[in-house]
Structure 1
């Protein structure tokens, strides 16, 4: 007897634009494995970043397990606060609107908690070479 892993409950009609009904069977459906409980664990993990390598590792794991691509880079204008760092999630069917907002917010909170990670990120993009 094989049991399927729990899937995320559908959003109420009209409340979300995730496009869950357009998902075909196969690798696209892996995004539905991110249940609300797992999302809470993910957000907690993103808020407790240790270093830049940890952030890159989490980005790779998000893509490998759920197919979520997260791009983090300095914004086009001057970076004075964590709001100046651009965190974008690639559009993907099945990714809930609240999750699309929660992941970047958790990464920002993690960068605010550990500013050394943000400085290393800026340095990786060659913004602090003269400092």
Structure 2
């Protein structure tokens, strides 16, 4: 008689429906405009095992938002020679435009790689 390991009654992570992928993807990118890297981090940690699309979108959003923080620190240092103020203005505009573009691509359930982002988390 063969003994099998006990079956776990807890189900595994439930996959995310395509409609929810669109909604969560849009929210991930739009909320990053207001809350920085925290919103993509939270969405990515919650949905990375449940949806390939949200995993990849979360990685790209995190890469971009961490890159923006680094760019802001550099522009703050450069502000002492007055060049940093222009760089900060350009960063605000780029962050807004790129996040909106990523949200539009997320509504199509496609992964959009932000330009100028440093690839901290590799895409599959």
| TM-score bracket for the superposition, by shorter chain length | 0.3 to 0.5
TM-score normalized with structure 2 length? 0.35
TM-score normalized with structure 1 length? 0.34
Higher strand share goes to which structure? 1
Higher helix share goes to which structure? 2
Larger radius of gyration: 2
